[in-house]
Structures are given as structure tokens and as C-alpha cells.
Amino acid sequence: MENTSALQLVRETDDFVASLIAQMDLAEKIGQMCQIDVAGEALSEELKARLSAGEVGSIINQVDVELVNEIQRVAVEESRLGIPLLIGRDVIHGFKTVLPIPIGQAASWNRDLVEAGARISALEAARAGVNWTFAPMLDIARDPRWGRVAESFGEDPFLASMLGAAMVSGFQGQSLRDNGSIAACAKHFAGYGAAESGRDYATTNIPENELRNVYLQPFHAAVTAGAATVMTSFGDLNGIPCTANGFLLRQILREEWGFSGFVVSDWDSVFHLKVHGLTADDAGSALEAAQAGVDMEMASTTYKQYLAQLVEQGKLSESVIDQAVARILRLKLALGLFENPYTEPEALPAYGNRQALDVARQTARESIVMLKNAETLLPLSANTLRSIAVVGPLADAPYEQLGTWIFDGDSALSVTPLEAIRRRVGPEVEVNFFQAMATSRDRNTDAFEAVAEAAGQSDVVLMFLGEESILSGEAHCRADINLPGAQAELVRKLKAAGKPIIAVILAGRPLTLTNVIDEIDALLFAWHPGTMGGEAISDLLFGDFSPSGKLPVSFPRHVGQVPIYYNHKNSGKPPSDDAIVHIDDIDANATQTSLGMTAFHLDEGFRPLFPFGFGLSYADFVYANLSCDKQQVRLGETLRISAEVSNQGSCKAIETVQLYIRDLVGNVTRPVRELKGFRRIELEPGQTETVTFDLHTDDLAFFGRDQQRVIEAGEFRVWIGGSSEAELETGFSLID
């Protein structure tokens, strides 16, 4: 019954779309393939003329709902065919209510929460008339210099796939037709995060096998989860810019994955094809992009200017255009825009409502990673403290805690850490605030002496350090990823004052903390935590909840180690802790030998400062009794892998239990570890739980030498634990 009606719907959709296309002239078809920027525009006569001529398929960057409705009205009522518009907007980590930046959300390892966050973002954005967002960003990010690591889910394809799919579901809801559902866009297809030297927009060179086994995985997951659209990357991938890359857009996306949604370029990225040196002129760029499979051009106007001429000259088949238009119309139909193109804001929940703030607070709480807690300094007890010094440029900066690319975020909703701490401890505890620096980049140390002297009078010093929002995000890359400005010096000055230092770092990327980590007694890494960041930080500082975040990305000791990620290959000369030589231990006039040498740096070794998956808790989780239900598994079978996890601490807490495997031999070399599962459990003190993962042999597949998916017989190692350095190990073999 259900199948019959689904089929009928497809048929009706196809009939409707085909009949509409049959009525369209070439200019109207091309109009559907054009997205224009209307930021800050009133409804000018020129815009009206374009809309009523059917020259526009979508607008971007207008969120004044009355204006959006008016723009939509002109398209629907004054154009010949009355085709409604897609209203696009970057809703990356919240709309008015801002959630932690995506890398922070990834640190929660909580699919439900990521989905819930996208849902509240969709509801808020839909209230402004938005029906299409450009998220999730699914680029694997292994270079913390890259500013857009902030928008990513980190370095691991499995985690990014899980969370990306959850975000798509949150935006799109049960049905795109539902009030409050908006279309998602998986971006930036593909490989964008591998930009050379972490410089945004720079070239990417990724071998096909690495592309398939790593970079494409989250996109495949998003397409499988039903993502309505895909955006091309700005990048030049192996010599062919992604916006003209038929291998990616036709072969992989459409032929191999059967993607039926539509592809949009990135901003001006069709125009950029000429700048890349791929085409001689804009007409050539329009041709390359359309032929490669870009259905809609964002911002630049090469489609508007040249597609008709290219068809008339016989260089581009009109069927390419018809297919693109069909895909775009299908989404408009799926969103219910033909029946109901207008937005009734009152029919959707208010901005910053209780539920939205609660989701933002819980996500922020679960995104924070505790990286150090010497002498169990944390949690603080508000009952025994008399005074707290709150120091630093990010303690009371409502806008800076929101993070990158939040055009609509309302910093008036922000609760800052200073505000939340004051509220939490009440009037009994003296809270003294010293900003000490004008911005996180400030190099002026004039105030430091006096701040150290005054802060030193308090029982404890709480420092709020890191990066302002503007230091990460698109085109905001850094070559030096230490704490900026004079922050390290401020830490040293305060440490010298003799009081315990608790640092809370707000930042858009992993930072190198080697130069301050020994001066800091306890460290919470809070990313940019969003609207409710202050409350969430205070929840953890005072032990109302235990920290539970785990790093979705490795933290290097030194920027020179980048890229550093846990799921690297072994190499022929893998390093080990007992076989590294330090630069200071080399004799004068030492002769060179390669014997016994391995893959490490003389000055920094080979380990990160904090590994992927790592994060401390106020509880003490102990892992034991790792076992597989069989030693040998046959193709098509499922292996049950379990371990006991006990909370031997004294407070209730959440732990993310992680499953890693290693495929020891492959027809292409395999990573030293791969995340294959994770489960969040909450344990009371003294409680033990057996956590079981079902690993199907399909989960062992990879792309082999011929770029085909393969599952090979052989030996596998298995680890379960609380980070990618989990030590509890067993193994199994896969037999044919």
C-alpha cells in the first residue's frame, strides 16, 4: 500500500515537473539555474523585473520575512509560470539561538543532540522564510591551521558520517513538506579540507583511493540520509576544480551513488574556473560547470549570460539544462512551495524559545572537553570558595563566544561565562573580573602585573582564553596556532601569583598548547560554545554535570606536526616511544645513519599533545574484559564485540565508549586504527555496564587497488576504550 502511494507520488512529481518544463522557454529554464544574492536589497524595480521575467530560481541572504514573502509573491504571482523560489541562507550552527560550532558539536559525539540542534535551527530559520540551508559541511579536516576546521566534524570519516547524517535529518525533518523543515546541502564536494598548508581555497591533491576511503565517506552518508542538495568545493582537486569535476559530480555522485537531488556551485565558483586557469573565458566556465553537473550557479552570472548561447551554438545539449531544471523543480515541489510559497512566522516557535535554549545549553555542555585536571582541582565547590578571579578577554564577550559565520545569531541572547558564574555562586562568593587584554590578539602586557597581583588575592583563578570568533572560519586561517597575542604571558604571570589556574579555552580550532599546558592546573576546551556557552561552562566548573566531550580531532604539540591524525598509515618505519631520539641528545659531529630510524620529528617526536577521542571526566572509567563472540567470522556474518566499563569514581557521568579496529593486511595499506563504533553511556558511581558493538563484515569494506569496494579475508585487531589510544586489545579473523 505504502509502496504504491510512494510510486504514485514519484509519478505525479515526474508528470508535474515534465509538464512544467514543457511550458518553459530556454530563458525560463536557465532562470531556474540561477541563484542571486539579495543581501541588504529592498525590492528594487530591477529585482522585480528579473523575478517577474522568471530569471531567478533562488535567492540567498535575505531573512526579513516580510521582504522574503514579497519577493516570493512577485515570483509566484507576477511571473508567467509562477514558479516559487528557493530561499537560501547559511544556517551553520544555529539561527538566532546559536549552538556550538560544528567541531564543538562533533566533540559531543551525540547524534541525537546534533539532530536536535539542526531541528531548532531549521525551525528558527524557517520563521524568517528560509527553506534551504548550506549545511552540513562534511569536509574531513586534518589541518587545524585551516579556518574552516571550525565548521567541520573533524578528522574522522566515520564520526563525520554519523553526525553529518544526523544534521541532515534535523534540518529536513520527517518530511520536507512539514512547516519548519528546510532542505540541507552537503558541502563542499569534495576534498576542500585538504587545502595545501591549511590555507583556505588552496589546491588539494588527494589520490583517488584516499578520496574514496576518507574524504567521500561523509558525503555518501549524507546522500544516503536524503540530503536534498550538494555544493561543490572551491578547490582544485588533482588539477580539475571541483565545480567542473565530472568525475565527482557525474561519476561518483550520480552514477555510483544515485544522487537525485541537485548540485549548487559555491559562491562565484563557476566564475572562478577561469581564474583557476581551466577556462579561457566565462562562457567556457559556464559550459564546463553545466556539463560536469552543476545544476545551479550561486552568485556569479555565467549561466545567465552564456548558457542560452551555448545551447544555440550546439555546444551544450538542452537536455543537460532540462535535467538540471527538473531536479530543482522537484525540490521545490518536495518542499511544498507550489501549494504554500509563503511563510507565516507566527505558525513557528519564537526565536530563542525555552526548548531552543535548552538544546543549545545541553549541546554546549556536551561539547566541552576536559583536557587536564591536576589534583582533581575541578569541579569547584561554590560552598567552600570565598573569592574567584575571572580573567581574560573571552570571559564576558557575548558575541565572541558565538563562533564563526553566524549572520543571524543574536548576541543579546548570549549568557557569558562571567554572568553564569556570578549567577551560579550567588552573592556569598566574591567574583572579581579582570579582562586584562582588549582582544585575544592584544600584545599589550601593561595591565598584567596589576591583574596578577589582584587576581592572586582570590582563592582560584579562572582564565577565559582562546580566539575570538573572527580568527576562524572561511578564509581565516592561521600559520601559528598558539594562543594569540600575549595570552601565554598572561598565563605565566598569573601562575607566578601562586594560585591554581583553571583555563577555559574558547576557540575555533585545536590550538597548540604545549607552551602553556604545564602552567595550567585544569583545562576545559570549550570551542566556540554559542548562546548558552556561559551556562554550560558554569555547569561543568561547579560539577552540576561532568565533562563528557571527546576530541573529534587530534591536538598537535607543534604546528610543524600538521597534518597529524590518529588514522594514519603505518609506514615502513613506524615510530615507537622507546626508539625516538631527541634533538638535544644528539652528539656533536654525529654521523648520519638510517639504521633503526623511524618516522618522527627530532624535536617533537610523533605523538599529538592530545589524541583523537580523548577527554577526561569527573568520574573514573575503567575498561575490562574485552571479548569477541567468535574468533573467526565469515563473510556476511556479524561479530559481537563487548567490554565492561565501570565508573570507579564518585559522581555520575557520561562516557563515550569507542570501538577501533585495524585491518592488518590489505591490497592497499590500511590505517593503523579506524573508528568503527561509539556508544554514549551514563554510569552511576560503582556501576558497571557491558557495552556491545555489532560489527558486520560489511563494516570492514574499503576501496582497494582497483578503486572497488572490497572485503578481504585476514586478521584484524580490535580495541575498545575511551580514546583512540585505547589499550585493551583483542582480535579476530575474517575467513572466506
Indicate which residues carry an active-site annotation.
266
Binding mask 187-226 for ligand NOJ (x = CB under 6 A): x---------------------------------------
| Residues contacting residue 598 through CB under 8 Å, at least 6 positions apart | 573, 574, 575, 576, 579, 580
Kindly state whether residue 267 participates in binding ligand NOJ, applying the rule CB under 6 A: yes
Check residue 577 and report its DSSP letter: G
Does 408 participate in binding ligand NOJ (rule CB under 6 A)? no
9-27: buried (b, 16+ CB within 10 Å) or exposed (e) per residue? eeeeeeeebeebbeebeee
Find the shortest distance in angstroms from Cβ 57 to ligand NOJ: 16
- The site for ligand NOJ, by CB under 6 A, has a size of 6
Which residues, at least 6 apart from 194, have a Cβ–Cβ distance to it below 8 Å? 140, 142, 143, 204, 205, 206, 215, 235
Which CB sits closer to ligand NOJ, 28 or 200? 200
Question: Using CB under 6 A, which of 134, 525, 678, 702 touches ligand NOJ?
Answer: 134
Taking the complex as a whole, the smallest distance from the CB of residue 476 to ligand NOJ amounts, in Å, to: 12
User: Given the complex with ligand NOJ, which of 170 and 473 has the nearer CB atom?
Assistant: 473
Instruction: Calculate the alpha carbon distances from 270 to 205, 229, 322, 612 in Å.
Output: 20, 17, 19, 36
User: Which lies closer to ligand NOJ via its Cβ, residue 267 or residue 660?
Assistant: 267
Decide whether 131 or 440 has the Cβ nearer to ligand NOJ. 131
Taking the complex as a whole, the smallest distance from the CB of residue 226 to ligand NOJ amounts, in Å, to: 19
* Contact code string over 151-190 relative to ligand NOJ, x by CB under 6 A: ------------------------------------x---
Q: Check residue 132 for interaction with ligand NOJ (CB under 6 A).
A: no
- Burial of residue 384 (number of CB atoms within 10 Å: 0-12, 13-18, 19+): exposed
C-alpha cell, 162: 554519523
Of 37 and 712, the one with the shorter C-beta distance to ligand NOJ is 37
CA 682 distance to own-chain centroid: 25
Which one of 55, 124, 236, 266 is in contact with ligand NOJ (CB under 6 A)? 266
| Residue 267 beta carbon to ligand NOJ: minimum distance, rounded to whole angstroms | 4
Taking Cα atoms as reference points, which of 546, 444, 465, 463 lies closest to residue 511?
A: 465
In whole angstroms, the minimum distance from the beta carbon of 192 to ligand NOJ comes to: 8
Q: Which long-range contacts (CB under 8 A, 24 or more apart) does 41-49 make?
A: 42/67, 43/67, 43/70, 43/71, 43/74, 47/71, 48/74, 48/78
In the three-class reduction of DSSP (H, G, I as helix; E, B as strand; rest coil), residue 387 is classed as strand
- For residues 659 and 359, give the distance between their C-alpha atoms in angstroms, rounded to a whole number: 27
**Does 434 interact with ligand NOJ (rule: CB under 6 A)?**
no
Choose, by CB under 6 A, the member of 318, 358, 419, 474 that binds ligand NOJ: 474
Least distance CB 406 / ligand NOJ (angstroms) = 12
HEC readout, 627-680: EECCCEEECCCEEEEEEEEEECCCCCEEEEEEEEEEECCCCCCCECCEEEEEEE
Given the complex with ligand NOJ, which of 89 and 670 has the nearer CB atom? 89
The 51-90 site mask, x for binding ligand NOJ (CB under 6 A), equals ---------------------------------------x
In 3-state terms, what secondary structure has residue 231? strand
Distance of CA 372 to the CA centre of its chain: 24
Q: In the complex, which residues of this chain contact ligand NOJ (CB under 6 A)? A: 90, 134, 187, 266-267, 474
